[in-house]
């Protein structure tokens, strides 16, 4: 099973496990993590078997709590859309009252600002450390 | 504990249980359900105790599957934002390739189209029947 080409193009690797890919979105406007379960042909969360729904949400909530703690975000937005990319993926986005899309959503709102070539998000190492026990 | 006034104003009742309020959004552009856990002072899903996170997601996924089945939606979008209303609430929205916001998100996109006074969404009864065993 492969990562959808659009997800691969728009994101960088945080890590991967037997059950997930974990990626950072290449948009410096927001600390933004994407959790992609490795399940062939699954579009929506409610299609996953209940046990794996829980594994996925434990991972998503773990990322959300960690991202909030290390970035000091005002809110964490979580979204499952899939209108453009049919491979199931969960967005976890740190939001701030002074960010360029507040209080609107990040999806389809304004223009992404990619990181520089070779640059990594400042929060990436903290996130990796914070969730190391979640993604085994 | 009370429903946030903005949620109360924008939505109608589907039902309530010990753990949730279940509401329909007053916007006829989309079949749109909001699940609001009855937990005082909780803003984000990851703040809930893990057992209740699972109860909540079982309810959300149950609504998502039912809404997909009865409306024939092309996608179900699920979102937890809370940028405007700090009381934790989960959006479950049926999306269609010919809906007015596709493929963008529904939040902050275009103008809501309220139902007529006294009118109920056409899908409401089907949803109530479909999830009757989930929300006890």
Minimum distance, in Å, between the CA of residue A16 and any CA atom of chain B? 21
What pLDDT, in 10s, does the model give residues B69-98?
999 999 999 999 999 999 999 999 999 999
Determine, for residues A77 and B84 on separate chains, whether the beta-carbon distance falls below 8 Å. no
Predicted local confidence at residue A132, as pLDDT: 87
Q: Looking at the predicted structure, is the pLDDT value of residue A136 above 70? A: no
Q: List residues of chain A with CB under 8 Å from any CB of chain B.
A: 43-47, 50, 53-54, 57-58, 61-62, 64-65, 68, 75-84, 95, 102-105, 107-109
Give a yes or no: residue B80 inside a domain.
Answer: yes
User: Chains A, B: CB contacts under 8 A, how many?
Assistant: 98
Note whether A24 and A121 are within 8 A (CB): yes
Give a yes or no: residue B133 inside a domain.
Answer: no
Give a yes or no: residue B131 inside a domain.
Answer: no
Cβ contacts of B57 on chain A, cutoff 8 Å: 45, 53-54, 57
Q: How many residues does chain B have?
A: 136
Give a yes or no: residue B132 inside a domain.
Answer: no
Q: Looking at the predicted structure, is the pLDDT value of residue B136 above 80? A: no
Determine, for residues B77 and A95 on separate chains, whether the beta-carbon distance falls below 8 Å. no
Say what percent of chain A tops pLDDT 70. Answer: 99
Give a yes or no: residue B99 inside a domain.
Answer: yes
Give a yes or no: residue A88 inside a domain.
Answer: yes
Lowest mean pLDDT among B52-56, B91-95, B119-123: B52-56
What does the pLDDT average to over A56-72?
95
Which CATH number does the domain housing residue B84 bear? Answer: 3.30.428.10
Q: Looking at the predicted structure, is the pLDDT value of residue B17 above 70? A: yes
Q: Which residue of B6, B33, B107 is the best one to mutate when testing the A interface, meaning the one whose CB has the most A CBs within 10 A?
A: B107
Give a yes or no: residue A77 inside a domain.
Answer: yes
Note whether B86 and B24 are within 8 A (CB): no
**Domain span at B66:** 5-126
What pLDDT, in 10s, does the model give residues A34-54?
999 999 999 999 999 999 999
Minimum distance, in Å, between the CA of residue B61 and any CA atom of chain A? 5
Q: Give how many domains chain B has, as a whole number.
A: 1
Give a yes or no: residue A133 inside a domain.
Answer: no
| Preceding peptide of B101 cis, ω within 30° | no
Task: Supply the ipTM of this predicted assembly.
Answer: 0.96
Q: Which of B96, B70, B92, B110 is nearest to B23 (CA)?
A: B92
Minimum distance, in Å, between the CA of residue B13 and any CA atom of chain A? 23
With b for 16 or more beta-carbon neighbours within 10 A and e for fewer, the A34-52 pattern comes to bbbbbbeebbbbbbbeeee
Q: Which of A90, A42, A87, A44 is nearest to B66 (CA)?
A: A44
What does the pLDDT average to over A66-71?
97
């Amino acid at each position: 099973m492969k990562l959808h080409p659009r997800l691969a193009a728009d994101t960088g690797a945080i890590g991967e496990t037997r059950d997930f890919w974990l990626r950072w979105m290449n948009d410096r406007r927001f600390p933004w993590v994407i959790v992609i379960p490795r399940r062939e042909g699954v579009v929506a969360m409610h299609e996953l078997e209940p046990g794996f729904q829980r594994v996925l949400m434990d991972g998503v909530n773990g990322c959300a709590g960690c991202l909030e703690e290390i970035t000091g975000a005002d809110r964490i937005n979580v979204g499952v859309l899939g209108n453009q990319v049919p491979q199931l993926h969960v967005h976890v986005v740190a939001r701030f009252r002074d960010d360029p899309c507040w209080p609107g959503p990040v999806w389809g709102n304004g223009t992404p600002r990619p990181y520089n070539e070779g640059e990594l998000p400042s929060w990436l190492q903290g996130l990796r450390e914070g969730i190391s026990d979640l993604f085994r």
